[in-house]
Amino acid sequence: MEWQSPSDTVPSSFITEAQAGSLLGKPPATGAWRDGDPVGERLFQNVGPLHLEAGGHLPSVRIAYETWGELSPTGDNAVLVLHALTGDSHLRGPDGPGQKTAGWWGGIVGPGLPIDTDRYFVVAPNMLGGCQGSTGPSSVAPDGTEWGSRFPYITIRDQVAAQIALTDQLGIQRWAGVVGGSMGGMHALEWAIQIPDRVERLAVLAAPPVTTADQIALNSVQIEAVRTDPLFSGGNYYDAEDGDGPTRGLALARRMALLNYRSPAELNLRFDRQWQSPISPLGEAGRFAVESYLDFHGNKFTRRFDANSYITLVEAMNSHDIGRGRGGVQAALASITAQTLVVGIDSDRLFPVQGQEIIAEHLKYGMDDQKPVILRSPFGHDGFLIEEIAVGSQIRRLLR
């Protein structure tokens, strides 16, 4: 099933003075939310210790989350929304103290919107290992210093285990819907496979059944970009002065990632060979507009994210394989009992539609005759975030 993107414009190619001005001054050593910072809209829940899939444990886990709407007296209207690699719990609402960015899905979640907060109680947690309030490398360990590079290796299944513990403490027995895109889609699949009786409906957006060798390779160079920054200091940089953290390595990793999040067609149409400033057409001085775009977003990223968390979460993404220990991918998918919507983006070069086709093919209760909905969009992988009208119409169809 295909859906034509309603987008008929391409965003501006150039970074404005106002945007550039927002990055003046040295970046912080870490962009993590830290205890003592303004809370914003976050809520916090300590879910206790967590034993990890690969061995070891975390003695205490805190999950930061946000909610919208009201839980019904019978508890049957809760929807769990799971964010992507560099997202957080702030689904909707403005930026402000404690919230460095505006809500990342404000056109999908809210009153009268596809995930209707007049009807549903929506919960969005920051994933374990993240840096916006949940326990992660920037959190303080039992010895009174940040975990840093001592933070243990965690998997997608560990992150879902923490979400399950949060769900139990919130008193939610069964989710009316679990919705996730990209890395959040990996979590959503795990939810429906691990505890199928607690998921009524499922939406998997732009996510694969396994992380492939190609994707692991792309991730590995991003991790190395962070680790080889001289200011990474083995992951112990939290006491550094502003500007003295591994911001160059983290920004470079983000620039690499952006090339996978967007499509060649969009970058070529949006930027062509335009200059950001007047220079020789041979390009021996100054900058191409596409270079300025990547630099801007890389530098902006360092102000809201943590280098150690980036490594932790990318390595968790590499662990993703729903068939591991379950008799393979097909058997794992066949165990899902939730009514399931699978959405892919035709221009996605990070998680191509072949992955979504495998998921849809082996579902017992897929919505579209064992085929994914393929959205036609120029925006590549990020289409699941940008194409709110098209994506929203599909989620509304699932939750009707």
Distance CA 129, CA 142 (A): 16
- 198: which residues sit within 8 A by CB, 6+ positions away? 167, 173, 174, 175, 191
CA–CA distances in Å: residue 25 to residues 40, 242, 303, 307: 23, 9, 11, 19
182 counts as catalytic: yes
Question: Count of domains in the chain?
Answer: 1
* Closest CA relative to residue 363, chosen from 330, 322, 396, 400: 330
pTM: 0.93
- Residue among 5, 89, 182, 319 flagged as catalytic: 182
pLDDT tens series, the chain, 400 aa = 433 333 333 345 554 544 544 555 789 999 999 999 999 999 999 999 999 999 989 999 999 999 999 999 999 999 999 999 999 999 999 999 999 999 999 999 999 999 999 999 999 999 999 999 999 999 999 999 999 999 999 999 999 999 999 999 999 999 999 999 999 999 999 999 999 999 999 999 999 999 999 999 999 999 999 999 999 999 999 999 888 999 999 999 999 999 999 999 999 999 888 887 655 555 555 788 899 899 999 999 999 999 999 999 999 999 999 999 999 999 999 999 999 999 999 999 999 999 999 999 999 999 999 999 999 999 999 999 999 999 999 999 999 8
Provide the residue range defining the domain that includes 28: 2-399
- Residue among 187, 295, 381, 382 flagged as catalytic: 381
239 counts as catalytic: no
Distance CA 32, CA 224 (A): 20
Q: Tokens representing 252?
A: 């470079």
Predicted pLDDT of residue 275: 80
263 counts as catalytic: no
- Residue among 348, 362, 377, 382 flagged as catalytic: 348
Predicted pLDDT of residue 273: 86
Predicted pLDDT of residue 4: 37
The CATH number linked to 120 is 3.40.50.1820
Strands (DSSP E) found in 210-348 = 339-345
